Amino acid sequence: MSNVAEMPSGKIPSELLQKHGAALDAWFDERFSKKLKEAEESKTPSLAIIATKGTMDWAYPPFILASTASALGWDVNVFFTFYGLELLKKELQLEVSPLGNPGMPMKMPFGPKWFKGINWNIPNLVMAGVPGFEKVATGLMKKTVKNCGVASVQELRDVCVEAGVNLVACQMTVDLFGYTRDDFIPEVKDWIGAASFLPIAQKSDVCLFI
């Protein structure tokens, strides 16, 4: 052990390594996993959502996930692009279309239980041909939502704004669809493009395209 003092710093003498190598490995592994765990636990989780749809049904997933993540203390960014911009309008006028959506149950939100349970199987041709069909469907959906104690889209958006969720809009879509910034709520934090959003998404623990 006489040469220890001559060793460059950071190097462990081979003699020592041979003798205690396994113990050193075990010590390092234990310490490393402990430090890693500490670092993971102290990190604030983050969520990035790309919201691309502008109908009432598709408005729910981004706002539910964003508001819940913010309640969990996460950092949240939502990038609204294409039809998703509808979700940032000052006056939300979201509708739902059952046309061409075979997954959507068509049930009545009123009447006795047996009546509410009926799934009205309406052919696409009828849905497409009857004027105002979407208005009716939207009205029924809103009623169902209210009956079930589910939040309105407006309410969830308000929670997001209040909780400081970073709502950012796609500038290209604003230009493409001929909107002006005045059409949207003043809480929109930024008007950006893909090149600005991708680095945000890159650093996020969870990234969702909706």
Closer to another protein by Cβ: residue 68 or 97: 68
Judged by CB under 8 A, which of 100, 112, 129, 149 binds another protein?
A: 149
Sequence-distant (6+) residues with CB within 8 A of 9 are none
Closer to another protein by Cβ: residue 159 or 174: 159
Shortest separation between residue 151's beta carbon and another protein, angstroms: 5
Strands ordered across the beta sheet of 206-209: 190-192, 166-170, 75-80, 46-51, 206-209
Establish if 97 lies at the interface with another protein (CB under 8 A). no
Establish if 204 lies at the interface with another protein (CB under 8 A). no
Selected range binding another protein among 24-32, 102-110, 146-154, 189-197, rule: CB under 8 A: 146-154
Shortest separation between residue 125's beta carbon and another protein, angstroms: 34
Instruction: For residue 87, give the nearest of 50, 112, 43 by alpha carbon.
Output: 50
**Backbone Cα Rg of the chain:** 27
Contact 204, 77 (CB under 8 A): yes
Judged by CB under 8 A, which of 73, 123, 131, 178 binds another protein?
A: 73
